[in-house]
Amino acid sequence: MRIISFLILLCTVILYGCADKTQTLTVKNTNNHPITDKAVTLSFNKSLNYLNNPNGDEIIAIDSDGVFLATQNDDINDDGNIDEITFLIDLNASETKQIHFKIATSDELALFPQRTNIRFGNKKAPFNEITSAKRLHSTESKLIQPIFQMEGPAWENDIVGFRNYYDARNGIDIFGKRTSKMALDSVGIKGQKYHSLDWWGMDILKVGNSLGAGAIAIAINDSIYRVGPCKEGSYRFICEGPVRAIFELNYEGVQILDRVYNIKHQISIYAGEYGYKSKVWVEGLKGDEELVTGIVDLHNLPLIADETQINHIFMTHGNQGYEDEILGMAITVDKNVFIKNKPAPKKGNGITHTFCTHLKLEQPTEFSFHVGWEVQDPKFKKQEYFMEQLKYKLD
Protein backbone atom coordinates (compact mmCIF):
# COMPACT_ATOMS: atom_id res chain seq x y z
CA MET A 1 0.00 0.00 0.00
CA ARG A 2 1.32 3.41 -0.97
CA ILE A 3 0.65 6.27 1.49
CA ILE A 4 0.97 9.93 0.48
CA SER A 5 0.64 12.48 3.29
CA PHE A 6 0.07 15.99 1.97
CA LEU A 7 -1.43 17.90 4.90
CA ILE A 8 0.69 18.88 7.88
CA LEU A 9 0.42 19.57 11.62
CA LEU A 10 -2.83 18.37 13.21
CA CYS A 11 -5.00 18.18 10.13
CA THR A 12 -3.43 15.40 8.11
CA VAL A 13 -5.08 14.05 5.01
CA ILE A 14 -3.61 10.72 3.93
CA LEU A 15 -4.00 9.30 0.46
CA TYR A 16 -3.99 5.51 0.11
CA GLY A 17 -3.75 3.68 -3.18
CA CYS A 18 -2.54 0.52 -4.86
CA ALA A 19 -1.31 -0.32 -8.30
CA ASP A 20 -4.65 -2.07 -8.99
CA LYS A 21 -6.46 0.31 -11.35
CA THR A 22 -9.82 -0.59 -9.76
CA GLN A 23 -8.75 0.87 -6.41
CA THR A 24 -10.20 4.07 -5.07
CA LEU A 25 -8.25 6.91 -3.50
CA THR A 26 -8.94 7.19 0.23
CA VAL A 27 -8.76 10.69 1.68
CA LYS A 28 -8.87 10.99 5.46
CA ASN A 29 -9.00 14.03 7.74
CA THR A 30 -7.27 13.02 10.98
CA ASN A 31 -7.86 16.35 12.68
CA ASN A 32 -10.72 17.26 15.02
CA HIS A 33 -11.95 20.16 12.91
CA PRO A 34 -13.40 20.21 9.38
CA ILE A 35 -11.46 21.30 6.33
CA THR A 36 -12.89 22.98 3.26
CA ASP A 37 -11.57 23.55 -0.25
CA LYS A 38 -8.49 21.45 0.29
CA ALA A 39 -6.69 20.92 -3.00
CA VAL A 40 -5.42 17.42 -3.76
CA THR A 41 -2.96 17.16 -6.65
CA LEU A 42 -1.93 13.97 -8.44
CA SER A 43 0.50 13.65 -11.29
CA PHE A 44 -1.12 12.25 -14.40
CA ASN A 45 1.01 9.12 -14.11
CA LYS A 46 -0.15 8.59 -10.52
CA SER A 47 -3.78 9.00 -11.58
CA LEU A 48 -3.35 5.92 -13.78
CA ASN A 49 -3.28 3.87 -10.56
CA TYR A 50 -6.98 4.67 -10.16
CA LEU A 51 -8.27 4.90 -13.73
CA ASN A 52 -7.45 3.19 -17.00
CA ASN A 53 -6.87 6.20 -19.25
CA PRO A 54 -4.64 5.18 -22.18
CA ASN A 55 -5.60 8.17 -24.32
CA GLY A 56 -4.70 10.76 -21.67
CA ASP A 57 -8.23 12.19 -21.52
CA GLU A 58 -9.38 14.75 -18.97
CA ILE A 59 -10.78 13.14 -15.84
CA ILE A 60 -13.06 14.14 -12.97
CA ALA A 61 -13.01 13.16 -9.30
CA ILE A 62 -16.13 11.74 -7.62
CA ASP A 63 -16.57 11.21 -3.89
CA SER A 64 -18.12 8.23 -2.10
CA ASP A 65 -21.56 9.87 -2.21
CA GLY A 66 -21.40 10.13 -5.99
CA VAL A 67 -20.81 13.89 -5.91
CA PHE A 68 -18.63 15.36 -8.63
CA LEU A 69 -15.73 17.33 -7.15
CA ALA A 70 -14.33 20.49 -8.75
CA THR A 71 -11.50 19.08 -10.85
CA GLN A 72 -8.87 20.68 -13.05
CA ASN A 73 -6.64 18.95 -15.61
CA ASP A 74 -3.48 21.00 -16.25
CA ASP A 75 -0.72 20.95 -18.84
CA ILE A 76 2.12 22.48 -16.81
CA ASN A 77 4.98 22.23 -19.31
CA ASP A 78 2.97 23.26 -22.40
CA ASP A 79 3.57 20.05 -24.33
CA GLY A 80 -0.09 19.40 -25.06
CA ASN A 81 -0.46 16.61 -22.49
CA ILE A 82 -2.04 16.61 -19.03
CA ASP A 83 0.63 16.69 -16.33
CA GLU A 84 -1.41 17.12 -13.14
CA ILE A 85 -4.96 16.59 -11.91
CA THR A 86 -6.14 18.72 -8.99
CA PHE A 87 -9.47 18.54 -7.18
CA LEU A 88 -11.08 20.24 -4.19
CA ILE A 89 -12.54 18.34 -1.27
CA ASP A 90 -14.36 19.17 1.97
CA LEU A 91 -14.04 16.86 4.95
CA ASN A 92 -15.68 16.91 8.35
CA ALA A 93 -13.59 16.27 11.45
CA SER A 94 -12.10 12.75 11.30
CA GLU A 95 -14.03 11.99 8.12
CA THR A 96 -12.85 9.55 5.45
CA LYS A 97 -13.99 9.64 1.83
CA GLN A 98 -13.38 7.24 -1.00
CA ILE A 99 -12.54 9.02 -4.25
CA HIS A 100 -12.73 7.49 -7.69
CA PHE A 101 -12.25 8.97 -11.14
CA LYS A 102 -13.88 8.79 -14.54
CA ILE A 103 -13.18 10.13 -17.98
CA ALA A 104 -14.84 13.56 -18.00
CA THR A 105 -17.10 15.14 -20.56
CA SER A 106 -16.78 18.85 -21.29
CA ASP A 107 -20.24 19.38 -19.77
CA GLU A 108 -19.18 17.72 -16.51
CA LEU A 109 -16.06 19.87 -16.18
CA ALA A 110 -18.12 22.97 -16.97
CA LEU A 111 -20.28 22.36 -13.88
CA PHE A 112 -17.78 24.14 -11.64
CA PRO A 113 -17.51 27.94 -11.47
CA GLN A 114 -14.17 29.57 -12.16
CA ARG A 115 -12.70 30.50 -8.77
CA THR A 116 -9.24 31.56 -9.93
CA ASN A 117 -8.19 34.01 -12.62
CA ILE A 118 -5.12 35.55 -14.24
CA ARG A 119 -5.34 38.86 -16.07
CA PHE A 120 -2.52 40.44 -18.08
CA GLY A 121 -3.96 43.00 -20.44
CA ASN A 122 -3.28 46.13 -22.45
CA LYS A 123 -4.31 49.42 -20.88
CA LYS A 124 -5.71 50.84 -24.12
CA ALA A 125 -8.70 49.67 -26.17
CA PRO A 126 -9.50 47.00 -27.18
CA PHE A 127 -7.89 45.89 -23.88
CA ASN A 128 -6.51 42.66 -25.30
CA GLU A 129 -5.27 39.87 -23.09
CA ILE A 130 -1.46 39.62 -23.31
CA THR A 131 0.07 36.25 -23.98
CA SER A 132 3.62 37.45 -24.64
CA ALA A 133 5.42 40.65 -23.63
CA LYS A 134 8.91 41.59 -22.54
CA ARG A 135 9.38 43.06 -19.08
CA LEU A 136 10.06 46.80 -19.19
CA HIS A 137 13.44 48.02 -17.97
CA SER A 138 11.99 51.17 -16.40
CA THR A 139 11.68 51.79 -12.66
CA GLU A 140 9.23 54.67 -13.13
CA SER A 141 5.60 53.87 -12.45
CA LYS A 142 4.41 56.70 -14.70
CA LEU A 143 6.06 55.03 -17.70
CA ILE A 144 4.38 51.67 -17.23
CA GLN A 145 0.89 52.86 -16.24
CA PRO A 146 -0.22 53.72 -19.83
CA ILE A 147 0.96 50.36 -21.20
CA PHE A 148 -0.30 47.51 -19.05
CA GLN A 149 -3.62 47.19 -17.28
CA MET A 150 -2.87 47.22 -13.51
CA GLU A 151 0.81 47.81 -14.50
CA GLY A 152 1.38 44.10 -15.11
CA PRO A 153 -0.03 40.59 -14.65
CA ALA A 154 -2.61 40.17 -11.88
CA TRP A 155 -4.04 37.05 -10.28
CA GLU A 156 -6.97 36.35 -7.97
CA ASN A 157 -9.18 33.76 -6.35
CA ASP A 158 -12.54 34.16 -4.65
CA ILE A 159 -10.94 35.86 -1.62
CA VAL A 160 -7.96 38.03 -2.61
CA GLY A 161 -5.97 39.31 -5.60
CA PHE A 162 -2.43 40.44 -6.41
CA ARG A 163 -0.49 42.18 -9.16
CA ASN A 164 3.13 42.35 -10.31
CA TYR A 165 4.78 45.55 -11.50
CA TYR A 166 6.00 44.34 -14.88
CA ASP A 167 9.15 46.44 -14.98
CA ALA A 168 12.46 46.63 -13.11
CA ARG A 169 10.68 47.37 -9.81
CA ASN A 170 9.13 43.87 -9.84
CA GLY A 171 7.16 44.51 -6.65
CA ILE A 172 3.97 42.66 -5.73
CA ASP A 173 0.84 44.50 -4.63
CA ILE A 174 -2.44 43.32 -3.07
CA PHE A 175 -6.03 43.72 -4.24
CA GLY A 176 -8.47 43.34 -1.37
CA LYS A 177 -11.75 41.78 -2.50
CA ARG A 178 -15.25 41.96 -1.09
CA THR A 179 -16.79 39.71 -3.73
CA SER A 180 -16.18 36.08 -4.59
CA LYS A 181 -16.61 36.85 -8.30
CA MET A 182 -13.63 37.06 -10.62
CA ALA A 183 -13.21 40.81 -10.96
CA LEU A 184 -9.75 41.74 -12.23
CA ASP A 185 -10.50 41.50 -15.95
CA SER A 186 -12.21 44.90 -15.77
CA VAL A 187 -10.05 46.60 -13.12
CA GLY A 188 -8.06 49.69 -14.06
CA ILE A 189 -9.65 50.26 -17.49
CA LYS A 190 -12.64 52.21 -18.84
CA GLY A 191 -12.33 54.74 -16.03
CA GLN A 192 -12.18 52.25 -13.14
CA LYS A 193 -9.77 53.49 -10.46
CA TYR A 194 -8.52 50.71 -8.23
CA HIS A 195 -7.17 52.98 -5.50
CA SER A 196 -10.76 53.78 -4.50
CA LEU A 197 -13.10 51.22 -2.93
CA ASP A 198 -15.39 49.76 -5.59
CA TRP A 199 -18.06 47.02 -5.56
CA TRP A 200 -15.36 44.36 -5.97
CA GLY A 201 -12.67 45.84 -3.68
CA MET A 202 -9.53 47.93 -4.23
CA ASP A 203 -5.74 48.12 -4.13
CA ILE A 204 -4.96 47.92 -0.41
CA LEU A 205 -1.17 48.11 -0.14
CA LYS A 206 1.46 50.83 -0.36
CA VAL A 207 4.59 49.17 -1.75
CA GLY A 208 7.15 51.94 -2.38
CA ASN A 209 10.67 50.53 -2.72
CA SER A 210 9.85 47.45 -0.61
CA LEU A 211 9.33 43.90 -1.80
CA GLY A 212 5.64 44.45 -1.11
CA ALA A 213 3.69 41.21 -0.83
CA GLY A 214 6.26 38.47 -1.41
CA ALA A 215 8.42 39.69 -4.29
CA ILE A 216 11.88 38.17 -4.57
CA ALA A 217 15.53 39.19 -4.28
CA ILE A 218 18.96 37.55 -4.04
CA ALA A 219 21.26 38.04 -1.05
CA ILE A 220 25.04 37.72 -1.30
CA ASN A 221 26.97 38.30 1.90
CA ASP A 222 25.29 41.29 3.58
CA SER A 223 23.77 42.83 0.45
CA ILE A 224 20.34 42.25 -1.11
CA TYR A 225 19.69 42.66 -4.84
CA ARG A 226 16.24 43.01 -6.35
CA VAL A 227 15.22 40.45 -8.97
CA GLY A 228 13.71 42.62 -11.68
CA PRO A 229 16.49 44.33 -13.61
CA CYS A 230 17.52 41.75 -16.21
CA LYS A 231 18.55 41.38 -19.82
CA GLU A 232 15.11 40.05 -20.72
CA GLY A 233 12.05 39.26 -18.64
CA SER A 234 9.04 37.29 -19.84
CA TYR A 235 5.65 35.98 -18.75
CA ARG A 236 4.09 32.55 -19.37
CA PHE A 237 0.45 31.72 -18.71
CA ILE A 238 -0.04 28.10 -17.58
CA CYS A 239 -3.63 27.59 -16.43
CA GLU A 240 -6.68 28.98 -14.65
CA GLY A 241 -9.95 27.42 -13.61
CA PRO A 242 -12.20 26.22 -10.77
CA VAL A 243 -9.31 24.98 -8.60
CA ARG A 244 -6.14 26.97 -9.31
CA ALA A 245 -4.34 29.41 -11.58
CA ILE A 246 -0.62 29.23 -12.40
CA PHE A 247 1.78 31.43 -14.37
CA GLU A 248 5.53 32.04 -14.58
CA LEU A 249 7.72 35.11 -14.50
CA ASN A 250 11.11 34.49 -16.10
CA TYR A 251 14.24 36.63 -15.76
CA GLU A 252 17.15 35.97 -18.11
CA GLY A 253 20.52 37.61 -17.53
CA VAL A 254 20.06 38.95 -13.99
CA GLN A 255 23.35 40.76 -13.36
CA ILE A 256 24.46 40.83 -9.71
CA LEU A 257 28.06 41.90 -9.06
CA ASP A 258 30.14 39.89 -11.57
CA ARG A 259 27.57 37.09 -11.75
CA VAL A 260 24.69 36.36 -14.11
CA TYR A 261 21.62 34.33 -13.15
CA ASN A 262 18.55 32.99 -14.91
CA ILE A 263 15.57 32.92 -12.57
CA LYS A 264 12.07 31.44 -12.84
CA HIS A 265 9.31 32.45 -10.42
CA GLN A 266 6.22 30.25 -10.68
CA ILE A 267 3.15 31.69 -8.94
CA SER A 268 -0.03 29.72 -8.16
CA ILE A 269 -3.25 30.66 -6.42
CA TYR A 270 -5.88 28.17 -5.23
CA ALA A 271 -9.60 28.57 -4.68
CA GLY A 272 -10.57 29.36 -1.11
CA GLU A 273 -7.09 30.27 0.13
CA TYR A 274 -5.97 33.58 1.63
CA GLY A 275 -2.94 34.05 -0.58
CA TYR A 276 -0.67 32.54 -3.19
CA LYS A 277 2.24 30.11 -3.45
CA SER A 278 5.68 30.62 -4.98
CA LYS A 279 8.28 28.29 -6.45
CA VAL A 280 11.63 29.81 -7.44
CA TRP A 281 14.41 28.23 -9.51
CA VAL A 282 17.81 29.92 -9.98
CA GLU A 283 20.47 28.95 -12.54
CA GLY A 284 24.10 30.02 -12.17
CA LEU A 285 24.49 29.70 -8.41
CA LYS A 286 27.95 29.91 -6.83
CA GLY A 287 26.81 28.52 -3.47
CA ASP A 288 26.84 31.60 -1.25
CA GLU A 289 23.52 33.07 -2.39
CA GLU A 290 20.23 33.18 -0.48
CA LEU A 291 16.72 33.76 -1.76
CA VAL A 292 14.98 36.68 -0.10
CA THR A 293 11.28 37.47 0.03
CA GLY A 294 9.47 39.85 2.32
CA ILE A 295 6.59 41.83 3.77
CA VAL A 296 6.39 45.59 3.35
CA ASP A 297 7.25 47.48 6.55
CA LEU A 298 5.92 51.05 6.30
CA HIS A 299 3.88 51.34 9.50
CA ASN A 300 6.27 50.52 12.36
CA LEU A 301 4.46 47.30 13.19
CA PRO A 302 6.32 44.37 14.76
CA LEU A 303 7.10 41.16 12.91
CA ILE A 304 5.28 38.36 14.72
CA ALA A 305 6.66 34.82 14.56
CA ASP A 306 4.91 31.51 15.19
CA GLU A 307 5.21 28.01 13.85
CA THR A 308 3.60 24.69 13.14
CA GLN A 309 5.41 21.37 13.25
CA ILE A 310 6.76 21.95 9.74
CA ASN A 311 6.36 25.65 8.90
CA HIS A 312 7.56 29.00 10.19
CA ILE A 313 4.95 31.78 10.13
CA PHE A 314 6.01 35.44 9.98
CA MET A 315 3.28 38.06 10.02
CA THR A 316 2.41 41.69 10.57
CA HIS A 317 -1.02 42.90 11.60
CA GLY A 318 -2.49 46.35 12.13
CA ASN A 319 -3.63 49.53 10.42
CA GLN A 320 -1.54 49.16 7.28
CA GLY A 321 -4.14 49.07 4.53
CA TYR A 322 -4.23 51.75 1.82
CA GLU A 323 -6.97 53.62 3.72
CA ASP A 324 -5.55 52.74 7.15
CA GLU A 325 -7.82 49.74 7.56
CA ILE A 326 -6.60 46.66 9.39
CA LEU A 327 -4.59 44.32 7.23
CA GLY A 328 -2.68 41.18 8.12
CA MET A 329 0.15 39.90 5.92
CA ALA A 330 2.21 36.76 6.42
CA ILE A 331 4.88 34.58 4.87
CA THR A 332 4.95 30.85 5.60
CA VAL A 333 7.95 28.71 4.79
CA ASP A 334 9.19 25.22 5.53
CA LYS A 335 11.58 25.16 8.48
CA ASN A 336 14.13 23.26 6.40
CA VAL A 337 14.72 26.20 4.04
CA PHE A 338 14.45 29.11 6.50
CA ILE A 339 17.70 30.92 7.33
CA LYS A 340 16.86 34.19 9.09
CA ASN A 341 14.78 37.36 9.18
CA LYS A 342 16.52 40.68 8.69
CA PRO A 343 14.91 44.10 8.15
CA ALA A 344 15.90 46.09 5.08
CA PRO A 345 17.17 49.66 5.55
CA LYS A 346 14.66 52.47 5.90
CA LYS A 347 16.58 54.61 3.41
CA GLY A 348 18.68 54.06 0.31
CA ASN A 349 18.44 53.34 -3.41
CA GLY A 350 17.81 49.62 -3.11
CA ILE A 351 15.17 47.57 -1.32
CA THR A 352 13.86 49.45 1.71
CA HIS A 353 11.08 49.16 4.30
CA THR A 354 10.85 45.36 4.17
CA PHE A 355 10.83 42.55 6.70
CA CYS A 356 13.16 40.29 4.70
CA THR A 357 12.99 36.51 5.06
CA HIS A 358 16.15 34.70 3.89
CA LEU A 359 15.77 31.19 2.47
CA LYS A 360 18.04 28.44 1.23
CA LEU A 361 18.13 28.21 -2.54
CA GLU A 362 16.81 24.83 -3.55
CA GLN A 363 15.46 23.78 -6.93
CA PRO A 364 12.84 25.00 -6.34
CA THR A 365 12.58 27.05 -3.14
CA GLU A 366 8.95 27.32 -2.03
CA PHE A 367 7.07 29.78 0.18
CA SER A 368 3.58 31.24 0.51
CA PHE A 369 2.19 34.73 1.08
CA HIS A 370 -1.10 35.27 2.95
CA VAL A 371 -3.51 38.17 3.45
CA GLY A 372 -6.29 38.94 5.92
CA TRP A 373 -8.27 42.13 5.18
CA GLU A 374 -10.92 43.43 7.56
CA VAL A 375 -13.24 44.51 4.72
CA GLN A 376 -13.24 40.99 3.27
CA ASP A 377 -13.84 39.47 6.72
CA PRO A 378 -14.31 41.71 9.81
CA LYS A 379 -12.89 38.91 11.98
CA PHE A 380 -9.47 39.79 10.58
CA LYS A 381 -9.50 42.83 12.86
CA LYS A 382 -8.19 40.43 15.48
CA GLN A 383 -4.59 39.31 15.18
CA GLU A 384 -5.41 35.98 16.82
CA TYR A 385 -8.01 35.19 14.17
CA PHE A 386 -5.54 35.85 11.36
CA MET A 387 -2.96 33.53 12.93
CA GLU A 388 -5.63 30.90 13.55
CA GLN A 389 -6.63 30.97 9.87
CA LEU A 390 -3.00 30.70 8.79
CA LYS A 391 -2.49 27.58 10.89
CA TYR A 392 -5.83 26.17 9.75
CA LYS A 393 -4.92 26.60 6.07
CA LEU A 394 -1.48 25.10 6.65
CA ASP A 395 -3.02 21.96 8.14
Does residue 5 register a pLDDT over 70?
no
Q: For residues 282 and 290, is the Cβ–Cβ distance under 8 A? A: no
Does residue 395 register a pLDDT over 90?
no
Helix, strand, coil shares, percent, the chain, to 5: 10, 45, 45
Q: What is the mean pLDDT of residues 6-20?
A: 40
| Burial of 147: CB neighbours in 10 Å, binned 0-12, 13-18, 19+ | middle
Nearest to 284 by CA among 333, 235, 227: 227
- Assigned fold of 116-394: Beta-galactosidase; Chain A, domain 5 (2.70.98)
* Cβ contacts of 93 within 8 Å, gap of 6 or more: 29, 31, 32, 33, 34
pTM of the model: 0.92
- β pairing state of 275-283 and 289-296: unpaired
Does residue 4 register a pLDDT over 70?
no
d(CA 262, CA 10) in angstroms, rounded, equals 38
Domain segments of the chain as ranges: 2-109, 116-394
Does residue 144 register a pLDDT over 60?
yes
Largest CA-CA distance found in the chain, in angstroms, rounded: 63
- CATH superfamily assigned to domain 2-109: Golgi alpha-mannosidase II (2.60.40.1180)
Alpha-carbon distances, residue 324 vs 198, 237, 298, 356 (angstroms): 16, 34, 12, 23
Nearest to 304 by CA among 339, 322, 331: 331
Does residue 286 register a pLDDT over 80?
yes
Does residue 379 register a pLDDT over 90?
yes
Residue 281: CB atoms within 10 A of its CB come to 16
Average pLDDT value over all residues in the chain: 92
Q: For residues 258 and 337, is the Cβ–Cβ distance under 8 A? A: no
Q: Would you state the pLDDT for residue 22?
A: 57
Alpha-carbon distances, residue 277 vs 53, 65, 267, 272 (angstroms): 30, 31, 6, 13
pLDDT digits (tens, 9 = 90+) for 308-317: 889 999 999 9
Alpha-carbon distances, residue 47 vs 18, 20, 41, 62, 285 (angstroms): 11, 11, 10, 13, 35
Mapping DSSP to helix (H, G, I), strand (E, B) and coil, where does residue 107 land? helix
pLDDT digits (tens, 9 = 90+) for 243-279: 999 999 999 999 999 999 999 999 999 999 999 999 9
What is the DSSP secondary structure assignment for residue 177, as one 8-state letter? E
pLDDT confidence band for 16 (50 / 70 / 90): very low
Mapping DSSP to helix (H, G, I), strand (E, B) and coil, where does residue 332 land? strand
**178 against 138, higher pLDDT:** 178
Q: For residues 42 and 36, is the Cβ–Cβ distance under 8 A? A: no
Q: For residues 332 and 312, is the Cβ–Cβ distance under 8 A? A: yes
Q: Would you state the pLDDT for residue 64?
A: 87
pLDDT confidence band for 20 (50 / 70 / 90): very low
pLDDT confidence band for 129 (50 / 70 / 90): very high
pLDDT digits (tens, 9 = 90+) for 327-345: 999 999 999 999 999 999 9
Lowest mean pLDDT among 4-13, 101-110, 246-255, 363-372: 4-13
Nearest to 117 by CA among 237, 222, 281, 236: 237
Q: Would you state the pLDDT for residue 157?
A: 98
